[in-house]
Chains A and B, each alone.
Chain A
Amino acid sequence: MDRTGHTTLAEWSTADRDSVEAAVAAFREELDRGSIAVVAEREGEATHVRELPVDAELVIMRRPIAGG
């Protein structure tokens, strides 16, 4: 999520090895920039992940939060 209302960083398919590698590279780059990766799940749950879960439908990179 960013100032444009979110940007698609990568799309991948488990059948396409190159797309997975590109997605993993984009994922790590975002983590290095300080983003936090979250997999949104059903029933109001979200899981913080540190490796790209290639079987996930959507992984959201969010910025850290801080007390105001």
Chain B
Amino acid sequence: MDARSLERRGRLWTLTTVAHVVPFVAVAGLLVALQPLAFPAALVALAEAWIIPELYAHRGGNVARGGRRTTAAAEGRGLGLLADLVDHDARELLARTGLVMEGGRLGVWLVSEAGALLVRPGGRRVFCFCVRPADADLPCADRIAHLLLALRSDEGGFATVANLAFSGARWRLRRRLPGPMRPALDAAAAAAR
């Protein structure tokens, strides 16, 4: 996958979201226009229009959430190897947020145990990819290291293999991320500007 096909997927995602939202907004407007007393039903329709993109963003945020842990010894060894693969700043961000920041051709990536977030150049749009190593019983840090190495060796292939879970505004995703992870998204957006 290259930048053009990624942009195309992003536009398609936006179009799909608009196609979900617009009918509810139209129904709300029509209801009030036809019968002002139907405004409670119109409010429900507007709530639906708001909730649908939020649910998509929540799905996107899920790719950053952690999975189950293995033994403490295995986690420690895995973390040691991962720390060797990244520089000091990325190590510090990993310790604070659980995410590894990695610059790429397509933008700035945040790699988690269960996927990766891609902040596009400009920092306004985010893609959330659900992807994981074939072996689900790996230590958490090893899962990140697997994904990081896969990303580094073939960024386009990485984005192709991964399932797109969300594409949209950074602010919408940010609210759906666990609090400790939000600084990583802010840092990635700053790096992408």
Contact = CB atoms under 8 A, between A and B. Distances in A.
A40 interface: yes
Contact of B141 (A5, A38, A47): A5
A34 B135 CA distance: 11
Interface size classification for chain B: 35 or more
Interface stretch (A10-18, A23-31, A56-64): A56-64
Interface in B34-93: 63, 70, 73-81, 85
B163 A44 contact: no
Interface size class of A (residues with CB under 8 A): 20 to 34
Contact of B133 (A44, A45, A46, A62): A62
B153 A5 contact: no
B170 interface: no
A3 B132 contact: no
A3 B149 contact: no
Given A38-B153, A48-B153, A68-B163, A5 B74 contact: yes
Interface of A: 1-6, 34, 36, 38, 40, 44-48, 60, 62-68
5 contacts: A3-B138, A62-B146, A63-B134, A65-B133, A66-B134
